[in-house]
Structure 1
Amino acid sequence: MHNKGLGFWLAKRRLRNPDKPAVIFDGAQLTYRQFADAADRVAAVLAHRGIGKGDAVAYIGENSPQFLQVMFAAAQLGAVFVPINTRLAAPEMQHVLVDSGARALVLDPEFLDRAMPGVEAGRIAQVIVTGEGVPESPGLARLVAEATAGHTVADVDLDDPAAIIYTSGTTGRPKGAVLTHGNLTWVALNCIVDYDVVSTDVSLMISPLFHVASLGMGALPVILKGATLVLEKGFEPGRALGLIQQHGITMLSGVPTTYQMMADHPDWARTDLSTLQKLTCGGSAVPTRILNAYEERGLSFSQGYGMTETSPGATSLSPAMTREKQGSVGLPHFFTEVRIADEHGDMVPRGTVGEIEITGPNVFLGYHGLPEATAEAFTDDGWFRSGDLGYLDADGYLYIADRLKDMIISGGENIYPAEVENLISDIEGISGVAVVGVPDDRWGEVPWAVVTLKEGADVDTEKVRSHLDGLLARYKLPKNVVVVEDLPRTASGKVRKADLRARFSSD
């Protein structure tokens, strides 16, 4: 048997760079030999519990070496890794656990209560907590220490599923995007080529690994190249600045909010940033005020565009073009192509707005268990239909014009209005609702709910947030609820959200 996917990466690194620091976490360091040995033992633990090729292994936890060890262990077995957003509410976690058909769940103990409804409703046969656990129920750390060493080799091809990453859908239910071993390999190669990742890099990971950007474009290129990953459980701007100076960080990935919070921190001016060479920023365009703050320190950004379905990178804007092409999300990644089509699927001239379509080996396999949605997501000749509007300039640089799917990006988190609207519609007294993104200095944009009421009804922000709390992750809860007499609609009855965004963005 031969594993052609992610499952052979650590074994190769153990041979080539056994004593090189692979992961630094919470003051401790793992070499590539230790990292690979631990992943081997996790694979043995899972295999002993009946997990094999095609089985889904879910993970709920903050950034840690265990997150990556479980992912690579699953890859060794030919199993499918399902990372779950730790901020989801219990019903949201339940949907992912049930929909993915997960057979095993590894999680930090603090998420056990929230995950249990999904465990009870789904097909999960094995639940393993990270850490030592308790005497009668040993945790992953104890199980790994007692496991038999040795590298598991499963028969895995690049076209086999490696992960299912859930992305909220316009119909209100998250869809599982199936990413293959090839998808994740090629997106890592795109990053290595376009961001000049080298083996001497030391990369600070401050964003959650359950996000596909942090995993596919942050951690995986570093590991593939044999560089060093400094892993943080969460983000605190002062601590991040300290780690940059302490470890001589050369690479940093984040979203505009995190970069702004670091620049606003009292330690910003006195932190030595001289080792930083590569800053990548996603989620939304970098505001001018942030560009200015970092350029004053001699630093520039690589920006880009993508989505879960493209693993996620589709385009990148090099630091050299940040000012000349300001507002652009860049050129297609090295092994990726982008084109623009009109409503009939025909290609449009440069400078003309149309739907962004993407192809390349980083484009996903399809939506888990949703053949019709998968078919609708692709053109007849196999290009992925992003649902976003944009145009290419004369030099081939992509500009985003609008979002057909009305997605809100708040602090790097994707919020799909339909999911929130469906639940708000259940509130007594509400006759109509539209959720839109409103600009926010800290988070980029935040969700607002614009509602109409039945006669005599009394609904306010507190009532709406109270109803949603526990049903949705808190970042999805509207920051404000505005009552209007009528929602603006098209002739066909659809709410004109662009009108609402324009109206409330100017307030």
Structure 2
Amino acid sequence: MIGPANHGVGSWPARRARISPHRTALVQGDRTLTYAGLAHRADRLAAALTRLGVRRGDRVAYLGVNDITVFETLFATALCGAIFVPLNHRLSGTEIAYMLADSGASLLVHSADADSLVAAAGPLPPVLRTADFDTVAGDEPPGAEVTFDDPCLLLYTSGTTGKPKAAVLTHGNLTWNTVNQLAHFDVLSTDRALCIAPLFHCVGLGQITLPTLFKGGSVEPVAKFDPGAILARIGEAGITGFAAVPTMLQMMCQDPAWDTADLSSLTCVLYGGSPVQERVARAWLDRGVRLLQGYGMTEASPGVSMATHDGTLDHPVSAGVPHFFTDVAALRAEQVVPLGTEPAELLVRGPNVFAGYWNRPQETRDSFVDGSWFRTGDVVRVNDGWAHVVDRIKDVIISGGENVYPAEVEAVIVQLDEVESCAVVGVPDERWGEVGAAYVVARTDLDPGVLREHLEANLARFKVPKHLFFVDSLPRNATGKVRRVELRAMAAAAVGR
């Protein structure tokens, strides 16, 4: 993977091993793996997978925290011509069982931290523990031929509504996403990146991590996110970059170690997955960190657009400009038209856009317009060439015939220093059809009257939430996205709908 068609001995990471064999590819704790070492271990594990019955097109699932063994399994699976399926280790046994059955995994690889979860998952395919890699390793890698069009990865969507479905990402999708990233920002062979976003998520794998390995830099996977520990590690190891979700950035800049942390080695920090509060972005920019917001989705491997270093200060929360090999457009009145200042659904096409949803042909067809444009479901507007994600189409509240974008309301709420975070959802209303319900996490005491007064001073009356709820925390999934389905159910129950 990550390169032209793989033909056994010429495959990645063997190609990189020939270019820079003695450079460090992966480091974690006391363990260091060079590119030559990574290629050797991937070959031996691929031989073992073949002996265990893995064949071309089979799915090899992985369950466990970020670890060097994730990369060994990924590359070994690709050498077999099989498909890697990283699973969310924060899910329940029932949810893991669903994904194993849905993907039809022929083998489950897991680390020790997932032992109890594996036990709770019920009927399983054959299992291989990462602790047994050296025991089962073989000597003859399979040398399967792999082309750009062959599936490489199944990534399950976050599943904020209904059952999650798997996006099929090809070797070409991952390669072109890497090229797009490298066209947008610089990565050097001397870079040292942290991998703190989970590797079962597109941000963890596609942003910073694979581009750094492509260029011959070093990646350090982090098993558990701890904001203080990450801040300390940046200075200790001379970390040059990492990719994160906004919740991580917020937790780090609120950590007691923030003001004294040495961030001088950072050359690029990417974030995406959900909107970030402007004050959080400004906190990083004020420390001199070159912070870039990327916009994307699992189905785009994940990059669609990204901010640029030249424009971030003037557009701190913009999703930036399209990647080099990615086309964007808008869907308006069922017509494909150029993006403009008026909000419209974003369409995307390009070699990084996925092959479809696993075993869901109708959903795959429904997700495209004119055969090639993927419907993102996100409402976007463009000002001065820079994209701003307004909201998800399914999250738009229609109140009295007017469109209310929750993200716009949320941005006004978090302007108050007393507010930690918030989320706005729609709830049925007899008079208006639907009205807003705001869930607010306050960092200090906040008078509801003060909040409502602030909203009425900054928003049209129909945009002001009818219902205000103060809560200790918001329900979130593993990547920090708010689980709005739960909030809608809570709001409906609270107002008797």
Report whether the alignment pairs 1:128 with 2:128.
Answer: yes
Aligned to 1:76: 79
1:239-318 equivalences under 5 Å are 239-318=229-308
- Please state how far the C-alpha of 1:57 moved relative to its aligned partner: 0.2
**C-alpha separation between the residues in 2 aligned to 1:290 and 1:141?**
44
- Please state how far the C-alpha of 1:159 moved relative to its aligned partner: 0.4
Q: 1:280 touches 1:303 (CA, 8 Å); kept in 2?
A: yes
Amino acid corresponding to residue 373 of structure 1 in structure 2: E
Aligned to 1:162: 152
Counting matched residue pairs gives 430
Aligned to 1:371: 361
Pick which of 245-254 and 359-368 moved more.
Answer: 245-254
| Structure 2: 5+ residue stretches without partners | 397-405, 408-422, 428-433, 444-469
Aligned to 2:325: 335
Using structure 2 for the length normalisation, give the TM-score.
Answer: 0.79
- Please state how far the C-alpha of 1:313 moved relative to its aligned partner: 1.0
Partner SS, residue 321 of structure 1: coil
**C-alpha separation between the residues in 2 aligned to 1:172 and 1:290?**
31
Amino acid corresponding to residue 494 of structure 2 in structure 1: V
**C-alpha separation between the residues in 1 aligned to 2:438 and 2:75?**
37
1:29-48 equivalences under 5 Å are 29-48=32-51
Q: Any idea what the Cα deviations from partners look like across 1:153-208, whole Å, max 9, x if unmatched? A: 21111000001111145761111110000001111111111121121111111111
- Please state how far the C-alpha of 1:218 moved relative to its aligned partner: 3.0
- Please state how far the C-alpha of 1:9 moved relative to its aligned partner: 1.7
Q: Any idea what the Cα deviations from partners look like across 1:317-337, whole Å, max 9, x if unmatched? A: 113212323442111111111
Identity among equivalent positions (%) equals 37
- Please state how far the C-alpha of 1:254 moved relative to its aligned partner: 1.1
Partner SS, residue 252 of structure 1: strand
> Relative to 1, partners in 2 of residues 1:196 and 1:349: Cα closer, same or farther, differing over 3 Å?
closer
**C-alpha separation between the residues in 1 aligned to 2:365 and 2:343?**
24
Identify which of 131, 142, 156 aligns with 2:135: 142
> Relative to 1, partners in 2 of residues 1:6 and 1:171: Cα closer, same or farther, differing over 3 Å?
farther
Report whether the alignment pairs 1:484 with 2:494.
Answer: yes
Amino acid corresponding to residue 236 of structure 1 in structure 2: D
| Structure 1: 5+ residue stretches without partners | 132-138, 410-414, 422-432, 443-460, 488-507
Q: Any idea what the Cα deviations from partners look like across 1:84-113, whole Å, max 9, x if unmatched? A: 001111121111100000000001234234
Aligned to 2:387: 398
- Please state how far the C-alpha of 1:210 moved relative to its aligned partner: 0.9
Partner SS, residue 269 of structure 1: helix
- Please state how far the C-alpha of 1:150 moved relative to its aligned partner: 4.8
Partner SS, residue 91 of structure 1: helix
Partner SS, residue 105 of structure 2: coil
Pick which of 285-294 and 220-229 moved more.
Answer: 285-294
> Relative to 1, partners in 2 of residues 1:202 and 1:439: Cα closer, same or farther, differing over 3 Å?
farther
Q: 1:285 touches 1:303 (CA, 8 Å); kept in 2?
A: no
**C-alpha separation between the residues in 1 aligned to 2:387 and 2:336?**
18
- Please state how far the C-alpha of 1:56 moved relative to its aligned partner: 0.2
> Relative to 1, partners in 2 of residues 1:3 and 1:336: Cα closer, same or farther, differing over 3 Å?
closer
- Please state how far the C-alpha of 1:141 moved relative to its aligned partner: 4.0
1:94-105 equivalences under 5 Å are 94-105=97-108
**C-alpha separation between the residues in 1 aligned to 2:213 and 2:327?**
25
Amino acid corresponding to residue 67 of structure 1 in structure 2: V
- Please state how far the C-alpha of 1:345 moved relative to its aligned partner: 2.4
Amino acid corresponding to residue 399 of structure 1 in structure 2: H
**C-alpha separation between the residues in 2 aligned to 1:439 and 1:313?**
31
Aligned to 1:424: none
**C-alpha separation between the residues in 2 aligned to 1:356 and 1:203?**
31
- Please state how far the C-alpha of 1:441 moved relative to its aligned partner: 7.0
Q: 2:63 touches 2:110 (CA, 8 Å); kept in 1?
A: yes
Aligned to 2:22: 19
Identify which of 166, 170, 193 aligns with 2:183: 193
Q: 2:278 touches 2:317 (CA, 8 Å); kept in 1?
A: no
Amino acid corresponding to residue 370 of structure 2 in structure 1: D
1:150-229 equivalences under 5 Å are 150-169=140-159, 172-229=162-219
Amino acid corresponding to residue 18 of structure 1 in structure 2: P
**C-alpha separation between the residues in 2 aligned to 1:314 and 1:437?**
30
> Relative to 1, partners in 2 of residues 1:269 and 1:386: Cα closer, same or farther, differing over 3 Å?
same
Amino acid corresponding to residue 349 of structure 2 in structure 1: T
> Relative to 1, partners in 2 of residues 1:150 and 1:439: Cα closer, same or farther, differing over 3 Å?
farther
Aligned to 2:314: 324
Report whether the alignment pairs 1:362 with 2:352.
Answer: yes
1:330-479 equivalences under 5 Å are 330-347=320-337, 350-393=340-383, 395-406=384-395, 438=439, 440=441, 478=486
**C-alpha separation between the residues in 1 aligned to 2:436 and 2:79?**
42
Amino acid corresponding to residue 235 of structure 2 in structure 1: Q
Report whether the alignment pairs 1:53 with 2:56.
Answer: yes
**C-alpha separation between the residues in 1 aligned to 2:374 and 2:91?**
27
Give the superposed CA RMSD.
3.4
- Please state how far the C-alpha of 1:439 moved relative to its aligned partner: 5.3
Aligned to 1:134: none
Aligned to 1:445: none
> Relative to 1, partners in 2 of residues 1:157 and 1:438: Cα closer, same or farther, differing over 3 Å?
farther
Q: 1:5 touches 1:182 (CA, 8 Å); kept in 2?
A: no
Pick which of 44-53 and 236-245 moved more.
Answer: 236-245
Using structure 1 for the length normalisation, give the TM-score.
Answer: 0.77
**C-alpha separation between the residues in 2 aligned to 1:352 and 1:158?**
37
Aligned to 1:67: 70
- Please state how far the C-alpha of 1:231 moved relative to its aligned partner: 1.5
